[in-house]
Chain A
Amino acid sequence: MEKLEKIDATEKGRNYRILLILSVFIFTVPFWAGLIPGSILHMDIVNLMVLAGTYACAVIGLNLLVGYAGQISLGHAAFFGIGAYTTAILCTRMAWFPTWLGVILGGLVAGIIGWLVGVPVLRLKGHYLAMATLGLGEIAFILFTQLKGLTGGTLGILNIPSLSIFGLEFDTEFKLYFLIWAVVMLMMLLSINIICSRVGRALRALHSSDDAAEAMGINTARYKTMIFVLSAVFAGIGGALFAHFLNYIDPASFTFFLSILFITMVVIGGMGNIWGGLVGVIFLIFLPEVIQGLPHWIPLVPESLTNFGNYELVVYGLLLILFMMYMPKGIAFGLSRGTSYAKTKFGHLRDRISARKYEGH
C-alpha cells in the first residue's frame, strides 16, 4: 500500500508544493517589485497584481468549468458584475453594512443566478451553455444600464467603501494585495482538493465521455451545474473585491469584452491545467504593459504599438485561434514540460558529474 499512496500523492503533493512556492513568491512581490531597475513604477506592479487577483477569482472557476467539465461560459463578466453591484449597492445604501458580508453575498447572488441559468441549460448534452451565457451577459449589461434607480445607470456607483474585516481596514493597495491574493490562493487550494476528489474524478470522466460517465452512475447534468455554479460564485466574489478595490463601478467594466478576456486567459493559460487560470491572468494582465514598454527598451519598435487598447481584441482573437490550433494545452502545460525537461537534463548532468568524480578517484 505504500507504493499506492505515492502514486496518488505525486499529483496532489506536487500541486500543494507548487501552491506553497507560489504563495511565498506572490506574497513577497510588493517588497521587491520596486527594486526591478528600469521597470514600471513600484506601485504599478502592485496595482496590476491586485486587479489580476480579482480577475483570477473569475478565471480559476472558469478554468474548472471549461477545462474539467468541458463547458464554455461567455457570461462570466455578468457574474463578476453581479458580485460587484451586489456589494456596491448594499454597502453604499447602508453605511453600517459589513463590507466582508457584501463580498460573500456578491458570490452568493452570482451563484443563484448561475444556478437559474445552469439547471435548464446543462440538463442537455451539447454546448448550449455558451450561447445562453452570451445572452446572460447581454441581459446583465442591459440591466446594469437600465435599472437606474438601483445601479445608477451609465454613471455607475461611486464612493464604495474600502473593505474592512473586524475593524481591520484594507484601504491601500498594499494592504488589499495580501487580502485578495489570500482569497485567490484559498480558491486554488479548494480547486486542487476538488479536482483530486470524487467530484473531480466525476468531472474529468464526463469531460472524457458523457455516456461512459453516466454508465458509471454519474449524474452528468448535476455535476456540470455544480461546477458552473461554483465558478459563478468565484466570479461573484472576484467582482465584489474589484468593486471595493476601485471604489467605483459602472456598466462599462462588465461588458462582453471582459468575458472574452476571461476565456482568453483560460485558453492561453491552459484549459484543464489547474495552474492554467493563474498563468493566463498574469500573462494577459502584464502583456499590455510589456508591449507599451517595448519602444522604450528596443529602439526599432514603433511608438504606435503602445496604444494596446486599439488592437487588443485583434490580438485576443488571434491568440484564441492560434493557441487552440497549435498549443491547446496552453502555457502552463509548456511550463511544466519545460521544468520536467530541465529536471531530467539537470539530472543527467548531475549523474555525469558524479560519474566523472567516481572515475577520477
Chain B
Amino acid sequence: MSEQDMLDIDGVTKMFGGLAALKEVSFSVNRGEIKGLIGPNGAGKTTLFNVLTGVYRPNAGSITLNGSSVTGLRPDQITSMGMIRTFQTIQLFEGMTVLENTMVGCHTWTRSGLFSSGLKLPGARREEEKIREESMVILKDVGLDTRPGEQGTNLPYGQQRMLELARALASRPDILLLDEPAAGLNQYETGELSQLLLSLREQGLTILLVEHDMGLVMKVSNEVVVLDYGKVIARGTPDEVQNDPKVIEAYLGIEAD
C-alpha cells in the first residue's frame, strides 16, 4: 500500500455458511478522496461495510486503516481508530434529542468516566461544555441547528439522515463510510447532501460512499468501484465506469460472455 492510502482492503472474503458474500475484494481509498461503491442489490456492499467496521469477521484478507491493521477488531475499537459509518436503515437513538444524538458521536475523543461525571469534577464539566459546543457547530453545518431539543426520531425522514451524518461527523473521523445516505431524500435534499459531501472533502475528509443514486455518485466521486456477486468487476473514474460493458451487464442483468 502507498503512503496516501487511508484505507486498504486486501483480498477480503466473507462466507455465510457455504455462500461467499464477498470474494477476494481488494481496493484502496486514497486520503482525501470520495470513493463511490456501487453494485446491484445483494452485490455485497453492506456486507463489505459490516466487515470493514468489525461487525463481521472476514474469513480471509486484511483491512488496513491509516497504516495499522484493523482486521478482527471490535466495531467500537475500529470507530475509535478514525473510521465511522452510517446505516442504510436509520438507527437514531430513541428517547434522545437531536443534540444528544450528536453528542453521543463525540464519545470517541472524550474520556470522562463514571466518577468524574457522577461527581461533576471540573474536567468532566469542561469536557461536557466542549462536546456541546462542537456538536452544535456540526449541527449547524448540516443545517439542523434550529431545533436541537427535538427528539431525534421525531424529525422528518430527510433530516434524520442528516442527523445520522452529523452524529458520525461528531466523532472527528478520518474516513466516513456512508451507506446509502441519499435513500429516501427528495431532489432538493440530495442536492444539499452532495454540496455537503464536496465541502467535507474540501476539509480533508476521506469518504467511502455506497449509493444507488447514480447522479449523486457520479457527481461527487473521484473514483468508483463496482461490486457484483461479491466481486470487484470494475473500477475507474465515473466516466470510465459508466461506459464499462461489464457494469452495464451487471445492472441490466444480461449474462456475461
Which residues on A are within 8 Å of B, measured CB to CB?
A: 1, 4, 7-8, 10, 190, 193-194, 197-202, 204-205, 208-209, 211-220, 226, 230, 272
Contact = CB atoms under 8 A, between A and B. Distances in A.
Contacts of B95: 204, 208, 272
Contact of A215 (B84, B94, B132, B136): B84
Contacts of B104: 201-202, 205, 213, 216, 218
Most A CB atoms within 10 A — which of B76, B84, B92, B108?
B76
Contacts of A209: 91, 93
B254 interface: no
B84 A201 contact: no
Given A7-B148, A204-B96, A219 B120 contact: no
Contacts of B76: 214, 216-220
Contacts of B127: 198
Contacts, number: 110
Interface stretch (B7-15, B28-36, B111-119, B189-197): B111-119
Contacts of B246: none
B221 to A, nearest CB: 23
A121 B159 CA distance: 38
Contacts of B93: 204-205, 208-209, 212-213
Nearest to A5: B132
B131 interface: yes
Interface in B102-134: 103-108, 110, 112-114, 117-120, 124, 127-128, 131-133
Nearest to B139: A4
A205 B87 contact: no
Contacts of A200: 117
A226 B124 CA distance: 18
Most B CB atoms within 10 A — which of A197, A199, A201, A209?
A197
23 contacts: A4-B99, A7-B149, A194-B118, A198-B127, A198-B131, A199-B112, A199-B117, A200-B117, A201-B107, A202-B107, A204-B93, A205-B96, A211-B91, A212-B93, A213-B104, A214-B76, A215-B79, A215-B91, A217-B76, A217-B79, A217-B84, A217-B108, A272-B95
B124 A201 contact: no
Contacts of A201: 96, 100, 103-104, 107
Contacts of B133: 1
A71 to B, nearest CB: 16
A209 B207 CA distance: 24
A interface majority secondary structure: helix
B74 interface: yes
B75 interface: yes
9 smallest A-B Cβ distances: which pairs?
A197-B117, A217-B79, A212-B91, A7-B149, A217-B108, A214-B75, A208-B93, A208-B94, A190-B118
A209 B95 CA distance: 12
B99 A7 contact: yes
A10 B150 CA distance: 13
Contacts of A216: 76, 79, 84, 104-105, 107-108, 167, 171
B220 to A, nearest CB: 23
B148 A193 contact: no
Given A4-B148, A8-B99, A194 B117 contact: yes
A4 B171 contact: no
Given A4-B136, A214-B75, A216-B107, A198 B97 contact: no
A219 B108 CA distance: 10
Nearest to A229: B114
A204 B152 CA distance: 13
Given A4-B132, A198-B124, A201-B104, 8 more contacts: A7-B97, A7-B148, A198-B106, A199-B112, A201-B103, A208-B94, A211-B75, A212-B93
Contacts of A202: 104, 107
B74 A219 contact: yes
Interface string B152-180: 00000000000000010001000000000
A198 B128 contact: yes
A284 B62 CA distance: 57
B55 interface: yes
Nearest to B125: A197
Contacts of A204: 93, 95-96, 100
B53 interface: yes
Contacts of A226: 114
A226 B112 CA distance: 13
Interface in B129-148: 131-133, 136, 148
Most B CB atoms within 10 A — which of A198, A216, A219?
A216
